[in-house]
Amino acid sequence: MSSELVSYELEGNIAVLGLNRPDKRNALNDDVLKALSEAVMRAGEEADAGVIFGHGPNFSAGLDLAQLAERLRPDAPRDRKRKRYIWHTTFDLIARGTIPFVAALHGATIGGGLELAAAAHIRVADETTTIGLPEGQRGIFVGGGGSVRIQRIIGYATMADLMLTGRMLSAEQAHEVRLVQYVVGSGYALDKAKQLASKIAQNTAQTNWQITNVLPRMNDLSHDDGLFMEYLNTAMVRPPETVERLKQFLEKKAKPLAMG
C-alpha cells in the first residue's frame, strides 16, 4: 500500500515507511504528518519493527516553510481552541509506540527532518547525509520535540551550537556526537536499516516495548524511583515465548561440544 505522501510496504514482519514528497525534499506539513501517523499506527498493528526513509535524494529538509508562512499572515484564520500539536503526537507514536523504528538517513536531514529521525530508536546515516538545525537563522524554534529528544541525545552545548550557528554536520560528525549510531556508504542506509529492523523484530514484543517505552522514562525519575521501576518490570509476568527462549538457550549451552 502506498499513499500519495507516505508509502507503506510490509516486508515479512517489517513495516517500511517512506516520506514521498521528493520534489519538495520531503518537507513535512500537516498532510504528511497525518499520513505518517496513519502509517505508523498501521505498522504497530501489522509489524514487529519499522523503518522510516525518504524517497528521492533527501530524507527530509524539515518543516514546509511555505505552509508556515501562510499561517503567519496577519489575516490568516485562527483556531478558537488549541489542539494537540500534530508534530508531537505523530512523533510520540514513533518514539513510544508499540514497535521500535529505525530511521534510514541520506541527503538533507534538517530541522523537522532531524526531529523525526530523533523520534526513531536507531538512526543509520549514509555518507551523503547532512544534518542541522537551522531554525535560529529562520527566526523560529524547534517544534517537533527536538528540544527534548535531540538535546537528550547530544546534550545542550552541542544542540545550542547547531541552533545558534546553523552549522551542518556530516554523517561522521553526527556519529561522533552520537546523533546516529551507524554510518554506511552512499545508498546503503535503507538496506542497513532493514537489516537492523529484522534483527530487532526477533526480540519478544514485550522486551521491545520495555526498551522503547520504559527505558527512556528512566531519565525523568530519581535514582530510587528508577530502580523501583526496573524492579517492577523485571517482576512482570513473562509471555510463554520468553520461557521457551530461555529453555532453548540453556539446552544449547548444556549440549556437549562435538569433538573434531
Catalytic residues, by residue number, are: 115, 135
DSSP assignments along 116-135, one per residue:
HHHHSSEEEEETT-EEE-GG
- The half-sphere exposure of 85 on its side-chain side, counting CA atoms within 13 A, is 8
Contact yes or no for 67/30 (Cβ under 8 A): yes
Cell of 252: 544449547
Strands 14-19 and 6-11, by their bridges, are antiparallel
